[in-house]
A and B are shown apart, each in its own frame.
Chain A
Amino acid sequence: GAVVSQHPSWVICKSGTSVKIECRSLDFQATTMFWYRQFPKQSLMLMATSNEGSKATYEQGVEKDKFLINHASLTLSTLTVTSAHPEDSSFYICSAPPGTDTQYFGPGTRLTVL
């Protein structure tokens, strides 16, 4: 089956530092990947669509300079939270579609900013 991994699974950082989260498709290639964030006891909110070889598409209200997305290859997308602040603490989840009708999700990354 389609497997998507994320690294790290959890990270704690100090306010003002940057954090990089990796999303990998392990057994398929993905020209498109998606990044979501989820606050406690809430639903997933799409942040951006990551496109291999081109710029990411950000949802309205998401700061592109704060959440840098790089889709370096057909199996890897990275999300960098720059100058992180406590309000950026959240659960970040990526997804990727191996085909044309289903997205598969990574296990998520818990970010805590002190």
Chain B
Amino acid sequence: AQSVTQLGSHVSVSEGALVLLRCNYSSSVPPYLFWYVQYPNQGLQLLLKYTSAATLVKGINGFEAEFKKSETSFHLTKPSAHMSDAAEYFCAVSGSGYGGATNKLIFGTGTLLAVQP
């Protein structure tokens, strides 16, 4: 079975500071990994995804994440936080042992990012 752990339910950074949101996964087979962002009362928007290609993945809005198999991690980073980055961030792993978007996603509990002026 797959699972995702997001360390830190709340993260607060100053505008312009580095953003680091942590995600560790558990999977018995090569996973597909995703980061989604959710603004209040809205659906989820895909930030980036890892699907067994390059381990350093670049996404939208300046975010990137690195897949580290040895650490079973997929941490999300952004060099310089902007006020508009304040939102809830979810890490997710594909639920099937064979990956692929047609398989169900398993979500972490989410990290609420606050950006202070």
Contacts and interface: CB of A to CB of B under 8 A. Distances in A.
Query: Which of B101, B106, B110 lies at the interface centre, i.e. has the most chain A CB atoms within 10 A of its CB?
Result: B101
Measured as residues with beta carbon below 8 angstroms from the partner, the interface class of chain B is: 20 to 34
Q: Per DSSP, are chain B's interface residues mostly helix, strand or loop, or mixed?
A: loop
B67 interface: no
Interface residues of A, number: 26
Contact of B100 (A49, A100, A107): A100
B43 A100 contact: no
Nearest to A45: B107
Contact of B44 (A31, A32, A46, A105): A105
Given A42-B109, A102-B46, A108-B43, 20 more contacts: A34-B104, A34-B105, A42-B110, A43-B90, A43-B109, A43-B110, A46-B104, A91-B41, A93-B44, A95-B105, A97-B101, A97-B102, A100-B100, A100-B102, A102-B101, A103-B34, A105-B36, A105-B45, A107-B43, A110-B41
